[in-house]
Chains A and B, each alone.
Chain A
Amino acid sequence: MGRAVNVGTSATFLLHFETFGPSAADYREAFGLFDRVGDNKVAYNQVADIMRALGQNPTNKEVNRLLGMPSADDMTAKRVEFEGFLPMLQTIINSPNKAGYDDYVEGLRVFDKEGNGTVMGAELRIVLSTLGEKMSADEIDALMAGQEDENGCVNYETFVKHIMSV
């Protein structure tokens, strides 16, 4: 039974990957899915997303560091081959202090004013757009879709479970 991931679709790939866990071949396949040019490389600005597709959650800062602090032009113009990408991915996979359920929950609990397990969606949006690696309004909308109750509150434990389910 071959891995039916041919040029397949990214969805097929991801389903397979989630079912069986990653292997070296999976890393190469994922990489190949992102190669839109056909030169067996991907653009610098795709590297973070490939890592995310492979189950990792790198910060943009980590990726930029691995890419050698590229300029904005570099990000679109420069490309990297799989053999260059793999060690970067390994670094991320092996990085300590990876956030887990508890980290996310505790991070969000900071904004739980009433200590009742919820945060105001509006507050969360502000934090996400002003702190850390700021998220755009579109990113935040996509993230929060369906997460706020009728009072605009988010149950953050449920939210984190949802985040971690994919």
Chain B
Amino acid sequence: MEASQSEVNPNPNPNPNTNNNVNRNSIMSSAPLWPTIDGPLGLTEEESLSYSRRFYKFGYALLPWLWAVNCFYFWPALRHPSSFPRIRRYVVGSAIGFTVFTALLCSWALTFAVGGEDLFGPVWEKLVMYNLADRLGLTGWS
């Protein structure tokens, strides 16, 4: 659907005492207020930390896509190098993990697809998915 709108909010004014000093309309803030991509609709910073950490740890269970979602969700933390240092550790780790895993998986998939039988021999026929589906009758009812 639509991309997120409120990635970086103009500096809000949490403390009315400093009301006069902060220009609410300045969007020059390099420090985003909200750590998630949903902005004010998303999580607070403490919750973000726990979520980010959980995503990072769960990603090790062969879930690079979870790492990617982690990076997407906490995009402001990734985008602005000086913000949310605690969250940023996990997000950067997820980004690296995702890139590495995807590179490995893509290279394997491409080798398999391009190499074909020449490279693999008869094992190729056994491994390719549509043959496997036929043999196991996975799409049997159509």
A and B: partners? Answer: no
Residues of B within 8 A of A (CB): none
Residues of A within 8 A of B (CB): none
